[in-house]
Amino acid sequence: MVRLAGGIFMGLGVALYFAMGLLLPGSPVRDYGSLVLLFLGVQVVLKDVADVWVGRVFKPYSLWWKVLLAPGTVVHEVSHLVGVVAMGCRVKEFVPFKPDPETGTLGYVAYVPPRGALALPRDLVIGLAPLFGCGLVTLGILLVLAPGSLQPGVVRAGSFGDLFSSIVGVAGDLLGALGGLPLKSWTTWVLFYLLLCFGFGAAPSTPDFKNPWKTAVKSPLSIGVLALLVFLFLFFGERFLFVYRWLLWVSLLSVLLLGASLVLLAAGSRVARLPLGLRAAVAAGILALLALGVLLGPA
């Protein structure tokens, strides 16, 4: 499958920025709306890179990676299921976790596609459901683990400088809140692990938009309906800026966690190619560093 969804969302974000500049000049919705789409595209691209990496470069050891991230996969698929039911579609089969080495899928929800003028909006809600499902679980973990990191107010979108300061602000709040946690508590490490899983699972990938693409081809009318709904949401968007800020905050957080996952995946793939003795030495070194962090870290 050609993985184009990320690029399409990023392109839509750029197009929306310029279109809103003509239709609603000076509106803050232009910046927030276009950046939500842009960072959604970045999430999809990063998730696709990780999927391809696991499926090709890391293939001999991919099952370990897939099992490691299973909690995020299960919630990802449950989110699709909730979206299917909420949109009134009939569920044919639900498999929350079953890695397929041939197709690369980790789980799936088979359903009867929606029809009618609202078919494309409904399909998009189903495709984007993990962003909200895993996003809510991630927010719940942060609320328990580090409530000080929940600061959507740091997100600004008026300029590139504002955007850069927003990224630094989100990362700084997260690292600052997590840095003072009691490393001697096993619950801290479990929640760290789950945070990574659900941050990874929150990002949709190109296969999640296979059905919306088919629906758009079959039902051109639903494209017009979707465009009208988007326009209305943007036109009245100043009343819902807090929604845009939360969506952008969750997107930034997911991008940061996806970046961390890719770093771990890159490191793991290199270690996996080492001789057995060196792999054992690396594993022992990592365990020693973790033990040192637990002993010397905050109680």
- For the stretch 185-208, pLDDT in tens is 777 778 778 888 888 788 777 778
Q: Is the dihedral of CA 244, 249, 253, 256 positive or negative?
A: positive
Q: How confident is the model over 247-295, as pLDDT tens digits?
A: 777 777 778 777 877 777 777 667 666 677 776 777 777 677 666 665 6
Residue 79: its pLDDT value, please? 92
State residue 88 phi and psi, 5-degree precision.
75, 25
All residues at 6 or more sequence positions from 26 whose CB lies less than 8 Å from its CB, including other chains: none
The pLDDT-based confidence of 157 (bands split at 50, 70, 90) is low
157 against 219, higher pLDDT: 219
Query: Which residues are bridge partners to 93 per DSSP?
Result: 110
**Quick one: what percent of the chain has pLDDT higher than 90?**
3
In single-letter form, the type of residue at position 70 comes to: A
Q: Across residues 16-42, what is the average pLDDT?
A: 74
Q: Record the tokens describing residue 180, joined without a space.
A: 């003072």
Of 198, 213, 201, give the one whose Cα is nearest residue 5. 213
Residue 137, pLDDT > 80, answer: yes
Q: Are 206 and 1 in contact (CB under 8 A)?
A: yes
Of 75, 237, 103, give the one whose Cα is nearest residue 157. 237
Q: How confident is the model over 211-235, as pLDDT tens digits?
A: 888 877 787 788 888 778 777 777 7
Residue 1: its pLDDT value, please? 45
Q: Across residues 28-38, what is the average pLDDT?
A: 75
CA torsion 89-134-162-264 (nearest 10°) is: -130
Q: How confident is the model over 85-123, as pLDDT tens digits?
A: 998 888 898 888 887 766 667 788 888 877 777 788 888
All residues at 6 or more sequence positions from 137 whose CB lies less than 8 Å from its CB, including other chains: 75, 198
In single-letter form, the type of residue at position 162 comes to: D
Q: Are 207 and 80 in contact (CB under 8 A)?
A: no
Residue 293: its pLDDT value, please? 60
State residue 95 phi and psi, 5-degree precision.
-125, 100
Residue 43, pLDDT > 50, answer: yes
Dist CA 82 CA 93 (whole Å): 13
The b/e string for 119-128 (b: 16+ C-beta within 10 A; e otherwise) is: bbbbbbbbbb
